[in-house]
Amino acid sequence: MEDQVSKGIKYMLFASLLFAFMGAAAKELSDSMSSVEVVFFRNVFGVFLILISIYNSPLKQIGGKFWLLTFRGVAGFVALLFFFYNISQIPLGEAMTFSKTSTIFTAIFAYLFLKEKLGFKGWLGVFVGFIGIVFITEFDGSSLEKTDYLGILSGVGAALAYTSVRELRNYYDSRAIVLSFMTIGTIGPLILMIIGSFYSNPNLDFMLGTFVMPKASDWIYIILLGVFATFAQIYMTKAYSFAKAGIIGTISYSNIAFSIILGLILGDSFPSILILLGIILIVFSGVLVSSKK
């Protein structure tokens, strides 16, 4: 049993490192193309891989929840759109921390929509998490930066996607669920880039952009983006099959540490004391919420 848990932890640590490298590749690409285009390349790679997998081993599922499947895809796509925009604008560790607030919101949505019990430890985790969000945004009572509210919304979007997956996995093959997300995440950016070629608005730069033909050097990062994202997903799935969700969910926060280190290597500034405190509180809240599972 210990060997299985140990394997799960190792797989999650590796997946977290790969997710951090995915973020680093996205950050490098954002120097030469819009975050919308980066989202397109992040997903189109996965669509082909999943279609090959389905061709080799056809889907076995009940189906019947098309609109919930579509909702999962849209929520995941919007979350990724905001997340990749933040990667292009703020330090990688901070962008990754915002995305990890999804644990807090997932607990709330599961309580509201799936009637899952939260308990004292869960509610304490949610409360601590919100304090952490206040610190990481450095909110002074006046207003939030665009990256702050987009970061929070990326956590909310991811949480809605994860909550819907809990219901969808009773009806669909996991590959179909991921394919819905990646297909919408491929078509969505194409539509947004078409709109962006006719209409521009600086306030909507997080969702509008034009297609720029990648340079030769960009293709290396595009391939790495796809490889890191795909294998991170595979090893994360493996991790959850070897150990309890609470343990793996806690280990997944190592992703923030990896992202801060990679961000510093890429030229990010070191987080302020307030932001560091916010990161610590969000990690602690995630541990509290995860430990009840």
What rounded mean pLDDT belongs to the chain? 90
pLDDT tens for 199-209 read 999 999 999 99
pLDDT tens for 29-43 read 999 999 999 999 999
- Token duo for residue 34: 């819009």
Question: What is the structure's pLDDT at 140?
Answer: 75
Question: What is the structure's pLDDT at 1?
Answer: 54
Question: What is the structure's pLDDT at 16?
Answer: 95
Global confidence as pTM: 0.92
Question: What is the structure's pLDDT at 2?
Answer: 56
Question: What is the structure's pLDDT at 248?
Answer: 82
Question: What is the structure's pLDDT at 293?
Answer: 54
Show the low-confidence residues of the chain (pLDDT under 50).
none
Q: Give the relative orientation of helices 92-100 and 254-265 as an angle to the nearest 10 degrees.
A: 160
- Range list of H helices, the chain: 2-29, 35-56, 66-89, 92-100, 102-113, 119-136, 146-168, 174-198, 216-242, 245-251, 254-265, 273-290
- Parse the chain into domains and list their residue ranges: 1-291
- Token duo for residue 92: 């990688």
Closest alpha carbon to 28 in 190, 262, 194, 253 = 262
